[in-house]
Structure formats: C-alpha cells, structure tokens
Amino acid sequence: MKVYILQLGDMGNCTYIVEHKKQGLIIDPSWDMQAIEKILTKEDITPKAALFTHGHYDHVTDAKDLLEKYRIKGYIHYDDLDASNLPHKDMITFESDHSETLAGLKVDFLSTPGHSKGSVCIKIGNLIFTGDTLFPNACGRTDLPGGNPRDLMLSLQKLAKLPDNTVIYSGHAYGADGTGSTTIGQEKTNNPFLKMALREPENFEDMI
C-alpha cells in the first residue's frame, strides 16, 4: 500500500490516493482533477472508488467529473450527501460506522460528526484520513451549518481510542511541517483540543 499526497486548490486541501496492487482509492478529490489523473496515469493506477470525509465544497469540487470519467462510485455519509452536491446516482451512502472492502483493502468509515453532521474519518490499516475533524494541533470548526461542538468532542474522544501509532492524514496541510500528517499518539500529547476533550470535556465547548 502506498499513499500519494496532493495539495490542491488555494485552501491547502489535501487529496490522497491510496494505491494497493495498482488499484486506487481517492480520498477527497477536489479542485484539480487533472493533477489527480496525472498521477493515476503515470503510476498506472486504476481508481476503484472515491471516498469523501464530508460534503463541504472544498473537499468535493469537480469530483463529479472524476466519478463520471472513471465510472466509479463515491462514498459519503448520508447526512452530508445533499451538501456535497454530488450526483446521487454516483454515490453510496451509509448512516453510521460502516466497513467496505475496496481495492482489496478493508476500509472503515468511522462516523465522527461535529465539524459537519456527516463527517467521517476513514481508516485503512493503521492509517486514518480525518478530513476536517482532526488536524495536527487543531480540530475542525463547528460554526458552519451542521456543526456541533459537543459532537466534535465525542468524535475526538472516539479517535483517541485508536492505537497511538495510527498515522493521521488530515484534510488540510495545516501541520507545522507543512503537511497534514501526524499520529494519534503525537496528538494525544500535543493537540490542545484533543487533550481538553479527554481531560476536561466539560470545558471543551468554551474552548472551541
């Protein structure tokens, strides 16, 4: 398994291509379909599905072109389907924690509402793609439609139960090193929001 990281658009969005035996899963394809197609062609990867962490426009822009071109399905939580504006006929939805085998890989969609109602984190092996739920040293905002601070706190608590060596790839390149990558262990030590959710949950909503 190999992960290709693309930073696309002017909001520091991260799109990821997870490759396994030349089959690919594309996570949050947005902004620049040509850049994504270029890697797929160069590395001879056949895309099998697009996986969306949530439906905000900066994570889905132009993704419908990719779904149509490669005739693949997109996976998104039902509660973010309408916000995504993605064509319903091309989408597969689910309403709670959900698992699929895609591109020969077990993919676990963990329901993690808070940033949006239908936000999920996508776990593949010891990797987790956290979208806008958890960033290096930060977490997603909750002031957009469907956002909810208490839900986000519970979602952060849920993520903290993953093994410390779980590698995080987040939805924006907000990390100090210019990437969106970190680990659950690092975040449990450093991330003030995750620490507050675990140690002083009663104060979390005041912090955010």
> Site residues (CB under 5 A) for Zn ion?
56, 132
Nearer to Zn ion, 84 or 191 (CB): 84
* Min dist. Cβ of residue 132 to Zn ion (A): 4
Q: Is 52 helix (H, G, I), strand (E, B) or coil?
A: coil
Q: Which is nearer to Zn ion, 45 or 139 (CB)?
A: 139
For residues 48 and 56, which CB has a smaller minimum distance to Zn ion in the complex? 56
From the CB of 119, what's the least distance to Zn ion, in Å?
8
Q: How far is the CB of 141 from Zn ion (least distance, A)?
A: 8
Q: What angle do CA 155, 160, 166 make, to 5 degrees?
A: 115
Task: Tell me which H or E stretch contains 46.
Answer: strand 46-51
In the structure encoding, which two tokens stand for residue 168, read together?
């995080």
CB of 190 to Zn ion, least distance (A): 22
The DSSP secondary structure of 187-206, one letter per residue, reads HHHH-HHHHHHHH-GGGHHH
Which one, 56 or 64, has the nearer CB to Zn ion?
A: 56
Nearest-CB residue to Zn ion?
56
Alpha helix (H) residue ranges in 32-183:
33-42, 63-70, 81-84, 149-160
